Structure 1
């Protein structure tokens, strides 16, 4: 039997490019080479696509020394995005004979997107793979887009009857042209401390905690660098003086139409909250798996995580994050392409649930192929 040809797609133009490289390195190290023929597919920060040796160079050297778009165009391993979209074969079809860089991509059986943030996790890459007719792990266009947009995500959570923090959404144009109105809107609806986030983003990039008006103004300006829509949430567990902390709990979801939930884990941040530095650069944060919870609380959180996954029409995988204050449990957000680094919670949660890293990769590939087979029976014309 031929090995399945698996493309591992990483890098990208987002602010989470470096995190993607770390995730891809872990996946490429753990994937079973006896079962799969692995094709690295890298995307530089300039948006140029690389295969084979150039992709490995991107992974090994990092973005600082990676070939840029102009240099990559002169190496045989370069692959313009248009070639990927036009060259990939429909599911089940394998071209033969050619062995150049374009064929590296055009004969893939399945793609593992190890991309985080915009242009990878937000439905854009999923749309390209849909048009190319190739199976891929994770949520489709809708689930990916919804899972990326914290404003729309929260609307779906609310429609599903799931508890969410009090929040207000503000457009960047509103903040830039009518700042006093935007501040009044926020401060009338919410109380400090507040968390200010770009609506579309991940890995806590651009997220700040504000304890007063001055910090709120700074936080809005920072978040506006990363998206046109800003979400401001009332802190959970802040207490009357705003110094308290909510517990940060996470659940990993795996599956398509019948998703399963992992054990519940807890993050104890080394900083005031679990920001980008605490996630990837600091050794001060601690993961507690499983979290110290009553069976009732654990079961309730796992059930809500599955409901959140279904509310956003997700598939494949996701990590669902919660905040807990006393007995109050609040759904924070869903992440449809969670980190796969050595210290990432998603693989750790499944390992603690009895599914080790290599088996988790196998399961994601199987789910991608199952979803492609299910979609293949859909008619698109009379």
Structure 2
């Protein structure tokens, strides 16, 4: 069956939609379905996307293509709408570089079924559903009316009030009312009516976009909250000029971010009088429409020579603000699905334990920033009360197939439901898959069930009953046949987790590998979690519901819970019984609890191993040595090479001895610091003028990599790195501007390096390059080096989010070494030559990622300065190694398959050598 996956779209949630569409594309069962990727751009064009672009980290990394971008002094990445008003021919030219335009009437020729991974306006509001209904194409999720209702928070509130259902009190402020209102009087009214705190929402957005909480009766903060929900921003000349050039650029980037800011294009309107004047008015005759961030930057600099203030309004902003009274209580989210009889079945509700007061975009999608506790820690009767309320809302609103319902349990035990979503986020560990895993469905199986249920829902509603009956019969027969094939696949243990600061990213990588393999016809993956210590590696076989917990700490907690002898939560037993009509067909019997296994048992259970660990343990050779003892093939480099590349100091030393360029470096030891801190600081300052780089010598993922600019930051770095306690010292953390929950490991030494800078080069960029090795018949191997990606850091160094979080990192693949195509390729070949030399010097096997800086001199000379080598690079869905392999024709699955086959061949060769 051909499944058209619709993703991207015009909404502010397009990056999460893009990442979710990729998840669906990868997890569709390849024996049942053929995926057809339909990327929807921000102007609403349907594009049959060339498959390699699906694996870009963000939409802006490939669309609009680099060739279509206007010149940009600051190299700012933009969406299509920033190119201004485009003719159909101009749009077609842009589209042709990434795929081909598909007209609506063509959709039915390309697909049997449409899976909607779109979010927000244009995706969840009934619009796309209506289009597909017009052309008779069955689609996933709810129909037109419930979708339209599900996106309108104000309409939902009115219905809940009319039905007498508990919902926080609310008021609505229109943009027109706000424009003539007295802010102080309006705030006073809202506080009297609703109390404090107040919650402000953009009524047609998701992912907590446009949401604020006001905790005090502060007029300035109140105005900012209203502006945030209307997607407006007021800027005063004094504030603008006080930012300085770098501050203005950072402000601009934040403002034009579609998730955190107001986005583009904007209408810029001059405020004619000073803001302190109560009679200040908008000069509507002095308005400008601006599409590109640099045009906005230039316009602001020009205007603030003469005017006092301006207002920026996104052209697609909201016209109303929903203001709610704050509910103090426990926040939860619950997925409700239709069972095979069309009745609602609520999955186990998840409690959202936030580190900050607002469960914002970043907290929702970056592992480790918030916790998802499933089921919510309540007595069974209370959880059942939540489930029944969610099932009732599902029915009341007329939802179909599935929905995500959010709510609060107040301090007085009152239950509030709000913000139902007819399309849930579909990242690998989202609520959508997270809760389905609790009844034993992996993502591939859950997607199959939802497609089947959606076909049945469309047929019940009267869409092409004969044709859909035939599709349902075909799918049911194929599912039954697929169950028989399960036992014939190659078993692969996917080892993830660990106990380092990279454990959360390791889990993300492991899950991605698991999902790529589980949807294949060749492999049957088994998720295995590694914990313990350097002295003893403990392995645990994970059931799917534990593997899809939010992060490594949650998984470890579930393991400890099981080892303490706790039984499965009774509500889970109940829900699994209720879900048996689903799981008996689509999943078989789920494992109830994680189980400790020894390496001997692992060798009996699986044919080979994929190590998805990062840093120590995993990349240091210790685990590889244990696997070799049991004859288990594994991915990546061998014991000796791994033990070298984990040590950045030793890696640099060997590369320098081989004639490759690396930064000046040295180790800084705790004993030296403890003996005489002042002498220690002066020694570093003498050898490395500020600013320089300090980082752990045996961790990756940008964990604790800092640009040290002065003595205070050096002292803070040392105090944190050499601390005895687990918790971070607040003063030192603030000095280094550590983010919320930012990991900072404890070590007895760290690496100090000179800061690599432009040094007068004509062109200077940071790159990350991947490679893959292939066996030759004579027992040696070739190194295939991919086109490197240009990594764009918004801060001083590439952050964890930029490397691994979908929609965050900015990577251009291939790297932009030069504008001229032939010159770019010449430089690229030189860079690849240097990366190949690195692999040969360090005896890299399987695959790797090498980070470097590239300088291109006016003479054309190319200098490649190696930063670090990762022998088990991150394999999260958004990591740029998949962008690179795609250019060489490898899908992520193909790439993983090649890696596993290389490891299997290596083990066979070693065994033959041993016998001979």
Q: TM-score, normalised by structure 2?
A: 0.37
Shift of 1:231: 0.7
Shift of 1:58: 5.0
Contact 2:351–2:374, Cα closer than 8 Å, also in 1: yes
**Residue in structure 2 matching 1:250, options 329, 333, 339:** 333
Shift of 1:47: 3.0
Contact 2:49–2:98, Cα closer than 8 Å, also in 1: no
Q: How does 1:1-382 map to 2 (within 5 A)?
A: 4-53=1-50, 56-57=52-53, 59-68=55-64, 69-75=91-97, 77-80=99-102, 83-84=103-104, 86-89=105-108, 106-180=109-183, 182-212=186-216, 213-214=218-219, 215-225=221-231, 226-237=317-328, 246-255=329-338, 257-281=342-366, 283-326=368-411, 327-376=413-462
Cα distance in 2 between the residues matched to 1:36 and 1:278: 33
Secondary structure of 2:405's counterpart equals strand
Shift of 1:122: 1.4
Cα distance in 1 between the residues matched to 2:179 and 2:52: 42
When residues 125 and 164 of structure 1 are mapped into structure 2, their CA distance, relative to the original with a 3 A threshold, is same
When residues 75 and 211 of structure 1 are mapped into structure 2, their CA distance, relative to the original with a 3 A threshold, is same
Secondary structure of 1:219's counterpart equals helix
Cα distance in 2 between the residues matched to 1:75 and 1:377: 36
Cα distance in 2 between the residues matched to 1:269 and 1:61: 26
Shift of 1:356: 2.4
Superposition misfits of 4+ residues, deviation over 4 angstroms: none
Q: Deviations over 1:137-192 (max 9, x none)?
A: 01111111111111101122233332111111121221123244643542331111
Cα distance in 2 between the residues matched to 1:79 and 1:125: 17
Shift of 1:6: 0.5
Cα distance in 2 between the residues matched to 1:159 and 1:356: 39
Cα distance in 2 between the residues matched to 1:373 and 1:10: 24
Shift of 1:216: 2.1
When residues 374 and 42 of structure 1 are mapped into structure 2, their CA distance, relative to the original with a 3 A threshold, is same
When residues 334 and 156 of structure 1 are mapped into structure 2, their CA distance, relative to the original with a 3 A threshold, is same
Cα distance in 1 between the residues matched to 2:96 and 2:44: 15
Q: Deviations over 1:261-281 (max 9, x none)?
A: 101111111211211121124
Contact 2:136–2:463, Cα closer than 8 Å, also in 1: no
When residues 195 and 276 of structure 1 are mapped into structure 2, their CA distance, relative to the original with a 3 A threshold, is same
Cα distance in 1 between the residues matched to 2:114 and 2:319: 30
Answer with 1 or 2: which has the greater Rg. Answer: 2
Higher relative contact order (CA 8 A, sep 6+): 1
What runs of 5+ residues in structure 2 fail to find an aligned partner? 65-90, 232-316, 466-916
Shift of 1:368: 1.5
Cα distance in 1 between the residues matched to 2:39 and 2:147: 20
Moved more, 304-313 or 6-15: 304-313
What runs of 5+ residues in structure 1 fail to find an aligned partner? 90-105, 238-245
Cα distance in 1 between the residues matched to 2:403 and 2:56: 27
How big is the alpha-carbon RMSD for the aligned residues of Structure 1 and Structure 2?
A: 2.1
When residues 129 and 59 of structure 1 are mapped into structure 2, their CA distance, relative to the original with a 3 A threshold, is farther
Shift of 1:44: 2.1
Moved more, 323-332 or 310-319: 323-332
Cα distance in 2 between the residues matched to 1:133 and 1:148: 23
Contact 1:156–1:312, Cα closer than 8 Å, also in 2: no
